[in-house]
Amino acid sequence: MVDFTLTDDQKAVRELAHDFAAKEIRPVAWEHDRDGTWPDDVLRKAWEVGLMNTHVPEEYGGPGLSFLEGCLIEEELSWGCSGITTSLSANGLACAPIQVGGSDELKKKYLGMLTETYTLASFCLTEPDAGSDVSGMRTSAVRKGDTYVLNGSKCFITNGGYADFFTVYAKTDREAGHRGISAFVVDKDDTITVDKKEDKMGQRASNTATITFNDTEVPAANLLAEENKGFKLAMMTLDRTRPGVAAMATGIARAAFEFATEYSKERVQFGVPIAMHQAIQFIIADMATKVHLSRLATWNSASLLDHGQRNTVESSHAKRFAADSAMEVATDAVQVYGGYGFIKDYPVEKLMRDAKIMQLYDGTSQIQRLVIARETLLPRRAETPLETPA
């Protein structure tokens, strides 16, 4: 029997995250959005109460929470502000390749670092000419004795301006396309420069930067998995992180739905609250359905991971549906507010701007459709266990 009834411990985790979002995130979210400022104090508080690095296993000093529990946290925090949550959760994306393909020594060093002190990490895959098409990657890693020398630039890097270390994807075989990509853990040093901080439409509380590696030397021991196995490692990483992105989108949609619902009860037109008008009722009902189904798809994709099963298509279903739904729900929330929804004094215009990125990062909605189509049209191994790159 499929059962998504939460345990008492899971309810407690969700309540902790919700209380943090209500007390620490929402009161400052719109200010950080307006000014595009870095919410360092919020991140440090989240680290102190255990809402960062929830993915780190107990053997490396972390809480070892399940993927489902991670999704519970990310929905609640994103209900508070998805921009701040993006910065809070970026360590999970950066360290997933280490958990999947790192040696025990790398896990002890870098996963342990996250729990011993307030530390930030960034995931460096995207480049100006290599977004959805990672085979177009130009960053190179050349083996020289016991080191690799990295050169190239990565763009749209979350927390890039504040990261203490990076997981970086680079070409070790320029002629092999996606089969020539390798992954590395790279400590920040003077050869790594932050070239640009992006001024974004939404999620303005998160730091997004361009990072350049200039003859950056990396120990060969910092190679993840094996040389030229980086593409597979990246795809396995995204299978693990997309449920969390879907949870973030669900949180945005839920916030927009709640604001619109309350406003519809207060706003009077034609002598009655607009919630009494069927046109508004239908909008609210569609919002409720999209939030509900986004959550179920998210939980399902996370639960598969927790049971050691392959979740490629399910994570794409969840990420695609939740991201598109967040955009639709936020847009409809603006519609419910009418002209006021278009004004920055009201909360839903921020949610609409924040929602848009959910359709773009961790694979666009179109890429998710390609994944779903491939998995639907081609034979698939049923109940395939999780694999480690070889």
- Check residue 297 and give left, alpha or beta (phi > 0: left; psi -120 to 50: alpha): alpha
pLDDT tens for the 390 residues of the chain, in order: 468 899 999 999 999 999 999 999 999 999 999 999 999 999 999 999 999 999 999 999 999 999 999 999 999 999 999 999 999 999 999 999 999 999 999 999 999 999 999 999 999 999 998 889 888 999 999 999 999 999 999 999 999 999 999 999 999 999 999 999 999 999 999 999 999 899 999 999 999 999 999 999 999 999 999 999 999 999 999 999 999 999 999 999 999 999 999 999 999 999 999 999 999 999 999 999 999 999 999 999 999 999 999 999 999 999 999 999 999 999 999 999 999 999 999 999 999 999 999 999 999 999 999 999 999 998 665 444 444 443
| C-alpha–C-alpha distance, residues 124 and 160, integer Å | 9
The Cα 240–Cα 355 span in angstroms is 21
- What radius of gyration, in Å, describes the C-alpha atoms of the chain? 21
Hey, which residues does 269 pair with through a beta bridge? 272
Task: Pick 8-116's CATH classification: 1.10.510.10, 3.30.930.10, 3.30.70.140, 1.10.540.10.
Answer: 1.10.540.10
pLDDT of amino acid 386:
46
- Fold for domain 121-228? Butyryl-CoA Dehydrogenase, subunit A; domain 2 (2.40.110)
Spacing of C-alpha 149 from chain mean position: 29
Among 199, 192, 195, 250, smallest CA distance to 218 is for: 192
Query: Looking at the chain, which runs of residues are DSSP E strands?
Result: 121-124, 140-144, 147-158, 165-171, 181-187, 192-197, 208-219, 223-224, 268-269, 272-273
Q: Which amino acid is at 34?
A: R
The DSSP code sequence of 2-63 is ---PPPHHHHHHHHHHHHHIIIIIHHHHHHHHHHT---HHHHHHHHHHT-S-TTS-GGGTS-
Domain pair 121-228 / 231-377, same fold: no
Domain boundaries, the chain: 8-116, 121-228, 231-377
pLDDT value of position 380: 63
Residue with the two structure tokens 């359905």 = 289
pTM exceeding 0.85:
yes
The whole-number pLDDT of residue 379 equals 65
Which CATH number is associated with domain 231-377?
1.20.140.10
